[in-house]
Structures are given as structure tokens and as C-alpha cells.
Amino acid sequence: MHDLGKIAIPDSILLKPGRLSDEEYEVVKTHALLGARVLSGAASELLEVAERIVRHHHERWDGAGYPDGLAGEEIPAVARITAVADVFDVLVHERPYKDSWTVEAAAEEIREGAGTQFDPAVVEAFDALGPAGWRSEVQPV
Ligand SMILES: [Fe+2]
């Protein structure tokens, strides 16, 4: 659901094998705001939280993310948690542009992002789960 806005991104970009051009990457980046727009104005606390996740899941702890360039605790906690889960999920699964990584390699990448890409406290909590906690019991359909 955090990538809801990708419904507005052409498949020619989303499914492109290989590296995106700068222009294509700018188009992909719009998914955060487009998705948040779909959820905006909802009269439901749950959907307000969802809107914060959708809008801010690509912000970075160091402020170099998008769409708003928020840094540190300016980024809603739910989005800081989603950022770690999202990157881990992408790394351990195959994508048109990349092979899947092992769980350990993906976890190491997450650890290396603590304090730059990710909230160090969230990475610490992620690490505390360990391999058993990183695996989902729900299999992809
Ligand atoms: Fe995303």
C-alpha cells in the first residue's frame, strides 16, 4: 500500500530492466505524492496514518530523501519504519532490474544505512528481530 502511487507510473518505467534515466527516476519519485493525494482528506485516523506512510516512505534520516526532504524525527515514525521494511523487502526479492539478495546481505545493507538513510533506532529494532523475525509467514501470491 505504501507504493499506491505507482498505479500512476507507466509500466515502461516500472518494469524496465536495467537502470532508469534521470528523467525516468524523476517520474518514479512522483509516486509518493501521487499516492498521498489519493489518501488525502480521509475522515479516518487509519487512512491519515497511511497517507503519512505513503508520502514519506522515501525520506531519508539525513534529509536527502523525497518528496519533502525531511530529516531525522521530522519524518513520521511510521514512515521511518516503513522505509527499513521497504528496502529490505525490495532487496530480498527479484526485480526486473536486479536479482534477489540473501537475507543476510540485505540485513547488512540495512545496518550500513543506519544514521544516513535510516533512523538508527529503527535499524536497531530491525536487527534485534534477527533472521527469524525478518521472514514473513505470508507467501507472495
Ligand atoms: Fe516507494
Q: What is the pLDDT along the chain (141 residues), one digit of tens a residue?
A: 899 999 999 999 999 988 999 999 999 999 999 999 999 998 999 999 999 999 999 999 999 999 999 999 999 999 999 999 999 999 999 988 889 999 999 999 999 999 999 999 999 999 999 988 888 666 656
CA of 96 to the centre of ligand 1 (A): 16
Ligand 1 centroid – CA 32 distance (Å)? 6
At 138 the pLDDT is: 60
Residues near ion ligand 1 (CB < 5 Å) are 3
For residues 58 and 64, give the distance between their C-alpha atoms in angstroms, rounded to a whole number.
9
**Of residues 138, 37, 22, 30, the one with CA closest to residue 89:** 138
Which residues lie below 8 Å from residue 92, measured CB to CB, with a gap of 6+? Answer: 100, 101, 102, 103, 106
Q: How far is the CA of 29 from the centre of ligand 1 (A)?
A: 8
Ligand 1 centroid–CA 67 distance in Å is: 11
Beta bridge partners of 114: 118
